[in-house]
Structure 1
Amino acid sequence: MLVRELMTTDLVTAPAETTMQQAAKRMLSARVGSIIITTDGTPTGIVTESDALTVGYAADRPFSEVPVQAAMSHPLVTIEPTATVRTATNRMVDDEVKKLPVMSDLELHGILTMTDIVRSHSDLVNEARQIEQGRGLHDPDDWRRSKE
């Protein structure tokens, strides 16, 4: 399964000049756990709920006084829309992120989140089973032996 088949395309973005209060308001209004930060229209960072909590605690100031750049994670860890979901999950684990903006070149296509992957778990399992059956791997031990 490819990233483009699971990604969310309804994105929430904000310019780098945004305050944390404005970013939090947009996230809450859209009921999302992250917002992509742009500079001159190009994605340059991401603010997640965890980033907001961290900067809220560390800054000890009202969100209206905290620039979003102080909270955003950057550089962005991204994935291509044509990458496999397995590649995406490996990247998430390796880079310790739960959200991957989906980009090709500098164009933002969507975002893939752990929630997207969990929601599609049964589809992913079914696809894996079909692949195994196509290889003639009907017994679970066959799969283990094929990896040796």
Structure 2
Amino acid sequence: MTDNTPEALDQLLSGQVQNLFQIMRRDILTCAPVTKVSEAARQMVETRCSSIVVLADDLPQGIWTEHDALLVDPDDSQALDRPIREVM
């Protein structure tokens, strides 16, 4: 039998909210527009983050994601040395 009382619902939701806060990132991964693609990718891998926000003067200029990383041409020998601003 399921307990549908308000108290039971509150208890269930409080547990879910607590779990959500445990897995949420508090810090947003950022880099400068001149950051090399290889460095941005390394930071994403190390922090297990699927995106990085590109900031200039503390203002967001764009976002680079795992999907964007897949679009980098593997045949371009200089692709990983390009600044992130060129590929976002």
Is TM (by shorter chain) over 0.5?
yes
Task: Write out per-residue CA displacement over residues 44-79 of structure 1, whole angstroms, 9 at most, x where no aligned residue.
Answer: 10000111111x22771344421101121xxxxxxx
Q: What is the TM-score of this pair, normalised by structure 2?
A: 0.64
Amino acid at match of 2:55: T
Task: Count matched residues.
Answer: 67
Identity within the alignment, %: 33
Q: Where does residue 62 of structure 2 map in the other structure? A: 45
Q: Deviation at 1:21?
A: 0.7
Q: Which runs of 5+ in 1 are unaligned?
A: 73-148
CA contact (8 A) 2:73 2:79 kept: no
Q: 1:10 to 1:19 in 2, by over 3 A?
A: same
Higher relative contact order (CA 8 A, sep 6+): 2
Q: Where does residue 123 of structure 1 map in the other structure? A: none
Larger Rg: 2
Aligned to 1:35, the other structure's residue is in SS state strand
Does 1:14 pair with 2:66? no
Q: What is the TM-score of this pair, normalised by structure 1?
A: 0.40
Q: Deviation at 1:32?
A: 0.6
Q: Which runs of 5+ in 2 are unaligned?
A: 1-19
